[in-house]
Amino acid sequence: MVSVTLEHVTKEFGEVTAVRNVSLEIQEGELFFLLGPSGCGKTTLLRSIAGFYAPTAGRILFDNRDVSNTPPHKRNTGMVFQNYALWPHMTVWENVAYGLSLRKISSDKQKQRVGEALAMVRMETYAKRSPNQLSGGQQQRVALARALVINPDVVLLDEPLSNLDAKLRLEMRDEIRRIHDETGTTMIYVTHDQKEALSMADRIAVMSMGEVRQTGEPRMIYTRPESIFVAGFIGETNFINGKIVATEPEIQIETSMGILHSTVKLPSGIGAGSQVVCSIRPESIHINENGVSEQGNRIQAEVAQIMYLGEHEQYTLKLNEDSYLKLIDSYPDQRKAQTGDMIWLTFDASHVVVLEKTE
């Protein structure tokens, strides 16, 4: 179990820069996520940590040991791949024991450690089966046991749940989090699935175009995004263009729907007169029958569409010819409005995040 530090890591493939000047500090025992869309550089960064790629520039450290040019088999990392990468001609037991055999661990030790690893992932009763006799979720458990059995300093997971169906993904999220908490092993997990990252991670680095755009705990990333990209990528949000007209006693933004109020700290360099974009999460907006609000913001809109989704109901609201908002009612025991209704909306000033208009 080690900390992992990236110092200004860049990785180029010819003229293509896949990772650009990335610096991160991943703490010992942390479940850390690299999150971003396809092509953002997250898998390249993970493979650089594993040793499959050497950085073009910068350093990778395990604790204080520079491993930038250390080959993969000398880094003591366990890798869990998207496609499981199990040997089809070996049993579950043999697949898990493979890394121990390469390390010339004694038979008695192998038996003990393989048994412990399979028990940890709840696959001990499947030890004699071949991988093609297992479900996708079971194969992924075996792949995780194989990564853990060598007692790695760091476990690296490359989109490990993307081939599973929705129900299995949910189950495996819980299992991976449980195993991490039980072992205390440093884990670095790559995914493009925002909910996966938000529900599992200790901290998240959101990546785009080879760069880290924001790092922090899931709740902070979601509620206090620092850029338009992060706000739009992590969950749904409403973007509203405006201009700051006052900053005291609270921030006031002039928009096409009127003056909006915010109590969220402004990014540095933004003040009165700045052109900005406001981000308001759909679940922060509430239908208010009489329009009276102590929450800080009150607007009127026409209900354009209602979509019932079981656990919540989604409203599309028309502000004017060109502007729409989304609202999510998390407790749709009964419909609160009908299509065509003019309704009042309220939302708290603490839920209006003001972002620099640069994208």
pLDDT digits (tens, 9 = 90+) for 113-151: 999 999 999 999 999 999 999 998 899 999 999 999 999
Q: Between vectors from CA 297 to CA 296 and to CA 302, what angle results, nearest 5°?
A: 160
pLDDT digit string, tens, across residues 267-285: 988 999 999 999 999 999 9
Rounded CA gap, 217 and 224, in Å? Answer: 10
Q: How confident is the model at residue 80 (pLDDT cuts 50, 70, 90)?
A: very high
Whether residue 332 is predicted with pLDDT greater than 80 in this model: the reply is: no
DSSP 181-192: HHH--EEEEEES
Note the pLDDT of residue 60. 98
Residue 245 pLDDT exceeds 90: yes
Read off the pTM.
Answer: 0.92
What pLDDT is recorded for position 277? 97
Nearest to 213 by CA among 34, 11, 4, 28: 34
What's the rounded Cα separation, in Å, for the pair 222 and 204?
Answer: 10
Q: Domains of the chain by range and CATH?
A: 4-229 (3.40.50.300), 236-356 (2.40.50.100)
For residues 334 and 99, the model is more confident at 99
**Given a cut of 90, is residue 330 above it in pLDDT?**
no
Angle, to 10 degrees, between the axis of helix 136-148 and the axis of helix 107-120?
Answer: 130
Query: Do β-strands 154-158 and 77-80 pair in parallel, antiparallel, or remain unpaired?
Result: parallel
Q: Is the pLDDT of residue 72 over 70?
A: yes
Confidence tier at 295 by pLDDT (50, 70, 90): low
Phi-psi region of 208 (alpha: psi -120 to 50; beta: other; left: phi over 0): beta
User: What does the alpha-carbon distance between residue 38 and residue 35 come to, in Å, rounded to a whole number?
Assistant: 10
Q: Give CA 50 to chain center in angstroms.
A: 20
